[in-house]
A and B are shown apart, each in its own frame.
Chain A
Amino acid sequence: MVDLISIENLEPLKEIIAQHKEEPGCIMPILQETQGAYGYLPIELQKVIADELNVPLSEVYGIVTFYSQFTLVQKGKYKIGVCMGTACYVRGAQNVVDRVERELGVVVGQTTEDKKFTIEATRCLGACGLAPVMMINEDVYGALTPDKIPDILAKY
Chain B
Amino acid sequence: MKKSIEELRQIGKEKLDRIGLRVGLEAKTESKTQIMVCGGTGCHSSSSHILIQNMKDELKAHNLDKEVEVIQTGCFGLCQKGPIMIIYPEGTFYSHVQPSDFKEIVEKHIIGKEIVDRLVLDEIKADPNDGLNKLEFYKKQKRNALGNCGLIDPECIDEYLALKGYEALHKVVTTMTQDEVIQEILDSGLRGRGGAGFPTGMKWKFAKSAQNDKKFVVCNADEGDPGAFMDRSVLEGDPHVIVEAMAIAAYAIGADEGYVYVRAEYPIAVKRLTIAINQAREYGLLGKDIMGTGFNFDLHVRLGAGAFVCGEETALLNSVEGKRGEPRPRPPFPANEGAFKKPTVLNNVETLANIPKIIREGAQWFANMGTDDSKGTKVFALGGKIANTGLVEVEMGTTLREIVYDIGGGIPNEKAFKAAQTGGPSGGCIPTQHLDTPIDFKSLAQIGSMMGSGGLIVMDEDNCMVDVARFFMDFIVDESCGKCSPCRIGTKRMLEILNRICNGEGKEGDIEKLEDLAKALKAGSLCALGQTAANPVLSTLRYFRPEYEAHIKEKKCPAGVCKNLITFTIDPAKCVGCSLCAKKCPVNAISGEVKSPFVINQEECIKCGLCLQTCKFKAIDKK
- The chain A residues found within 8 Å of chain B, CB to CB, are 24-29, 31-32, 62-63, 66-70, 84-87, 89-91, 95, 98-99, 102, 122-131, 133, 140, 142, 145-147
B307 adjacent to chain A (CB < 8 Å): yes
- The chain B residues found within 8 Å of chain A, CB to CB, are 41-42, 45-46, 79-80, 82, 223-229, 232, 264-266, 302-308, 319-326, 340, 381, 383-385, 389-390, 421, 424, 455, 457, 459, 463, 468, 471-472, 475, 478, 481, 584, 586-587, 606, 608-610, 613
CB contacts (< 8 Å) of A123 on chain B: these are 224, 226, 265, 306, 308
Cβ distance A51 to chain B, nearest Cβ, rounded Å: 16
Instruction: Rank and list the top 5 A-B pairs by shortest CB-CB distance, nearest first.
Output: A129-B79, A87-B383, A85-B226, A67-B305, A25-B322
CB <8 Å contact, A91 and B608: no
CB contacts (< 8 Å) of A28 on chain B: these are 302-303, 305, 319, 322
CB <8 Å contact, B226 and A102: no
CB contacts (< 8 Å) of A145 on chain B: these are 613
A sample of 7 more A-B contacts (CB under 8 A), given A87-B227, A125-B41, A140-B45, is A25-B323, A27-B322, A68-B307, A86-B424, A86-B455, A91-B385, A142-B45
> Contact check: which of A67, A86, A127 meets B41 at CB < 8 Å?
A127
A126 in contact with B468 given A67-B307, A68-B306, A90-B385 (CB within 8 Å): no
CB contacts (< 8 Å) of B264 on chain A: these are 32, 69
CB contacts (< 8 Å) of B424 on chain A: these are 86
Q: How many A-B residue pairs have CB under 8 A?
A: 142
Cβ distance A134 to chain B, nearest Cβ, rounded Å: 11
CB contacts (< 8 Å) of B459 on chain A: these are 90
Pick 20 A–B contacts, CB within 8 A, sort by A. Answer: A25-B323, A28-B303, A32-B303, A32-B305, A67-B307, A90-B463, A95-B609, A99-B586, A99-B608, A123-B308, A124-B226, A124-B265, A126-B42, A126-B223, A128-B381, A128-B389, A129-B82, A130-B42, A130-B79, A133-B45
CB contacts (< 8 Å) of A26 on chain B: these are 322
CB <8 Å contact, B46 and A142: yes
Once bound together, how far apart are the Cα atoms of A125 and B44, in whole Å?
12
CB contacts (< 8 Å) of A91 on chain B: these are 384-385
CB contacts (< 8 Å) of A29 on chain B: these are 302-303
CB contacts (< 8 Å) of A126 on chain B: these are 41-42, 223, 229, 232, 265-266
Specify the chain B residue showing the minimal Cβ separation from A89: B471
Specify the chain A residue showing the minimal Cβ separation from B41: A126
